Structure 1
Amino acid sequence: PKSNIPRLAHGLMYLPSQGKVYGHGGNSLAFSSSLYLDREKELGVVVMTNQFGENYYCLGIPELVFGKPESTISEENLEDSNLWKGIYQPARMPYHGFSKLFGLLNRTTVKPQDNFNLVTNNTVFVQQKPGIYLTQDEFSLYSLDVYSNHNTYGKILSSTNTDLIQIPLWQHVCELSLLVLAIASALFSFSYLLTVLIRRISTIRKEKKNLNSYILVQNLLNLIIVINVVWLGIKAFSMSTYTSLKIHFQANMIYMFVTVILAVYNLIKNKDFQLSKNQNLVLFMTVLSSFLIWTNLYYWEFFH
Structure 2
Amino acid sequence: MREQNIRNRVKQFSASMLVVIMLMLAIPAYAAEQEQVLLPSGSPLSSLEGLTDNYETVYEPMTAAVSVAVVKDGDTLFDKAYGFADIERQVAADTDTVFEWGSCTKLLVWTSVMQLVEQGKLNLETDIREYLPEGFLSKLKYETPISLLNLMNHNAGWQELNTDLWYFAEEDVPELGVALHRLEPRQVHPPGKVVAYSNFGVALAGYIVELQSGEPFHTYVQKHIFEVLGMDHTSIHWAQQDNPAVAEGRSRIQGYTTKLKLIQKNRAYLSIYPAGSTIGTAKDAAKFVAALLPPAGRNSPLFHDSATLQEMLSPSLYYEGTDIPRIAHGFFAVNYAAPALEHPGNTLGFTSKFVLDPQSGFGMVVMTNQYNESNYTTGLVDKVFGNYLPAVYSGELPDSSQVAGEYITARRVIHGFTKIRDFFYTEKITASNPSYLDHNGQPLSQISPDAYVPVYSSGFIYFVRDAQGAVIKFSNPYIDFFPLTGLSAQSIRITLVALSLGTAIIIFSLLGGLTRWIIHRFKKTAKPPARLNKYYLWMNAAGLAFIANTAILGYRTLISSTYSALRIHLILNIVYVVLTAGYIVLLGLKVLKQKNGKRRNILYALSGFSALLFSSLIIGWDLYF
TM-score, reference length from structure 1: 0.82
> Does the CA-based 8 Å contact 1:60-1:139 persist in structure 2?
no
SS at match of 1:14: strand
Aligned twin of 1:225: 546
> Does the CA-based 8 Å contact 1:22-1:37 persist in structure 2?
yes
Q: Tell me: CA distance 1:53–1:86, structure 2 relative to 1, closer, same or farther (3 Å).
A: closer
Aligned twin of 1:95: 414
Q: Tell me: CA distance 1:132–1:236, structure 2 relative to 1, closer, same or farther (3 Å).
A: farther
SS at match of 1:92: coil
Correspondence for 1:259 among 565, 569, 580: 580
Q: Which amino acid aligns with 2:501?
A: A
Deviates more, 1:246-255 or 1:214-223: 214-223
Aligned twin of 1:122: none
Match status 1:145 vs 2:450: no
Correspondence for 1:195 among 512, 528, 552: 512
Correspondence for 1:289 among 603, 610, 622: 610
Question: How much is the aligned-residue C-alpha RMSD, in angstroms?
Answer: 3.1
Aligned twin of 2:482: 165
What does the per-residue CA deviation read over 1:255-288, in whole Å, with 9 as the maximum and x for residues that have no partner?
1112212222332233454322221211121111
SS at match of 2:528: coil
Cα distance, 1:23 vs structure 2: 1.0
SS at match of 2:395: helix
Q: Tell me: CA distance 1:302–1:228, structure 2 relative to 1, closer, same or farther (3 Å).
A: closer
Aligned twin of 2:494: 177
Higher strand share: 1
> Does the CA-based 8 Å contact 2:437-2:462 persist in structure 1?
no
Q: Tell me: CA distance 1:67–1:3, structure 2 relative to 1, closer, same or farther (3 Å).
A: same
CA–CA distance in 2 between the matches of 1:44 and 1:161? Answer: 20
> Does the CA-based 8 Å contact 2:510-2:540 persist in structure 1?
yes
Correspondence for 1:52 among 368, 371, 383: 371
CA–CA distance in 1 between the matches of 2:341 and 2:443? Answer: 15
Cα distance, 1:73 vs structure 2: 2.2
> Does the CA-based 8 Å contact 1:186-1:289 persist in structure 2?
yes
Aligned twin of 1:130: 441
Cα distance, 1:196 vs structure 2: 1.9
Aligned twin of 1:277: 598
Correspondence for 1:63 among 369, 382, 390: 382
CA–CA distance in 2 between the matches of 1:265 and 1:230? Answer: 28
Deviates more, 1:94-103 or 1:158-167: 158-167
Aligned twin of 2:403: 84
SS at match of 1:45: strand
> Does the CA-based 8 Å contact 1:199-1:205 persist in structure 2?
no
Structure 1 gaps of 5+ residues are 119-124
Cα distance, 1:126 vs structure 2: 6.1
> Does the CA-based 8 Å contact 2:587-2:604 persist in structure 1?
no
Match status 1:243 vs 2:550: no
Larger C-alpha radius of gyration, 1 or 2? Answer: 2
Cα distance, 1:149 vs structure 2: 7.4
Cα distance, 1:101 vs structure 2: 0.9
CA–CA distance in 2 between the matches of 1:215 and 1:170? Answer: 32
CA–CA distance in 2 between the matches of 1:292 and 1:238? Answer: 28
Aligned twin of 1:23: 342
Q: Percent identity?
A: 24
Aligned twin of 1:298: 619
Aligned twin of 1:4: 193
CA–CA distance in 2 between the matches of 1:94 and 1:252? Answer: 19
SS at match of 1:59: helix
Cα distance, 1:98 vs structure 2: 1.6
> Does the CA-based 8 Å contact 2:194-2:410 persist in structure 1?
no
> Does the CA-based 8 Å contact 1:38-1:44 persist in structure 2?
yes
